[in-house]
């Protein structure tokens, strides 16, 4: 088991606000100096959990569960203390050097640079969508896919029309060619899977943007291309919209599982926000863990064609095998 210095834990806790941590999982309501929410650790039907910003502690006055931000994340995610430290350290921006299960448990300096590149590309693509060059892509989203501007902006959907401009942008930002290519955004020859496609930023369960799913606008080629698998981007551990949906899930006490990003966005526009999507893969054990963490029944809402029906049957069997209500 990895040892984590007590001083490092204290540093992490000093740099996070427990209200920010818990509110990333559950909707909070301010009551006087404290905050309240429905307790996720028992079958709670009224706000029984109190969060003190002053004391940086939470406490449920029904089931008795309580503690600091680390304790909440550990209990909520049902993970080890070391993994909880890792997650909260990321939120705090504190770098720690620990190993979990003999695998690197924290991102390297080069990985942090990859995150920076991905976020800069996200902003570049989003701004480009609303430029003259992005007019056709924006029209596709609005007219063909029926997305409104609020949804497009909320999810920071983007478009890349020029690989040369993207390379110049990243170079001006101070990234080396090695960093750009290692981030899997572009090849050394200047090619990118984002070119002439609408790009959907993809976030990990903690809400960090880790890559993109790009959709073909027209012509031949794969309909969707995702970022290349890496330490940063692992689609077998990602459910699109998970970081946003989980608050709504606890209000609705139900989660809806769909096949793609556009299904999530269409439902969101119709007021249905407790939705996540797979990233073009069958459910993995990591996905199952994420769904189990929600602690609510799952509804499967796949396409109504034959392929969608068969996929729904397979997913239903997997969920039942893992004792998830659906």
**CATH number of the domain that residue 196 is part of:** 3.90.980.10
Residues 145, 229, single domain; the answer is yes
Residue ending a domain, among 204, 233, 262, is 233
Residues 69, 121, single domain; the answer is no
Question: What's the pLDDT score for residue 105?
Answer: 40
3-class DSSP assignment, residue 209 = strand
Torsion of CA 189, 195, 196, 202, to 10 degrees: 170
Looking at the 3D structure of the chain, how many domains does it have? 3
Question: What's the pLDDT score for residue 101?
Answer: 42
Question: What's the pLDDT score for residue 221?
Answer: 83
Question: What's the pLDDT score for residue 3?
Answer: 55
Which of 61-67's residues contact partners 24+ apart within 8 Å by CB, and which partners? Answer: 63/39, 65/39, 65/41
Residue ending a domain, among 104, 120, 149, is 104
Question: Do 24 and 207 contact (CB within 8 A), yes or no?
Answer: yes
3-class DSSP assignment, residue 58 = strand
CA distance 224 to 226: 7
Which residues of the chain are modeled with pLDDT < 70? 1-3, 97-108
Residue 169 domain boundaries: 109-233
* Tally of helices (H runs) and strands (E runs) in the chain: 13, 14
3-class DSSP assignment, residue 123 = helix
Residues 115, 175, single domain; the answer is yes
49 beta partners: 37, 60
CA distance 26 to 39: 9
255 beta partners: 298
CA distance 161 to 134: 7
Residues 11, 86, single domain; the answer is yes
Question: Do 197 and 159 contact (CB within 8 A), yes or no?
Answer: yes
- Confidence (pTM): 0.74
3-class DSSP assignment, residue 215 = strand
326 domain residue, yes or no: no
């Amino acid at each position: 088991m990895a040892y984590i210095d007590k001083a490092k834990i204290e540093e992490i806790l000093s740099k996070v606000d427990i209200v920010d941590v818990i509110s990333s999982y559950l909707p909070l309501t301010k009551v006087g100096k404290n905050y309240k929410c429905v307790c996720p650790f028992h079958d709670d039907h009224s706000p029984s959990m109190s969060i003190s910003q002053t004391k940086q502690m939470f406490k449920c006055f029904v089931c008795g569960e309580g503690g600091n931000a680390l304790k909440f994340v550990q209990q909520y995610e049902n993970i080890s203390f070391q993994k909880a430290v890792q997650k909260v350290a990321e939120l705090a921006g504190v770098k720690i050097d620990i190993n979990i299960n003999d695998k690197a448990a924290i991102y390297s300096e080069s990985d942090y640079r990859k995150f920076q590149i991905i976020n800069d590309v996200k902003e570049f693509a989003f701004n480009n969508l609303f430029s003259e060059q992005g007019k056709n892509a924006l029209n596709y989203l609005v007219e063909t896919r029926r997305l409104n501007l609020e949804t497009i902006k909320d999810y920071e959907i983007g478009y890349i029309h020029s690989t040369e401009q993207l390379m110049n942008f990243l170079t001006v930002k101070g990234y080396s060619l090695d960093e750009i290519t290692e981030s899997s955004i572009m090849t050394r020859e200047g090619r990118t899977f984002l070119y002439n496609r609408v790009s959907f930023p993809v976030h990990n369960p903690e809400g960090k943007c880790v890559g993109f799913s790009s959709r073909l606008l027209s012509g031949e080629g794969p309909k969707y291309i995702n970022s290349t698998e890496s330490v940063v981007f692992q689609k077998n551990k990602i459910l699109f919209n998970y970081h946003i949906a989980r608050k709504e899930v606890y209000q609705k006490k139900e989660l809806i599982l769909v096949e793609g990003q556009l299904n999530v966005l269409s439902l969101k526009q119709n007021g249905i926000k407790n939705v996540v999507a797979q990233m073009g893969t069958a459910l993995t054990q990591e996905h199952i863990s994420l769904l189990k963490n929600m602690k609510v029944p799952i509804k499967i809402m796949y396409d109504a064609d034959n392929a969608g029906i068969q996929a729904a049957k397979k997913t239903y069997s997997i969920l039942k095998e893992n004792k998830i209500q659906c």
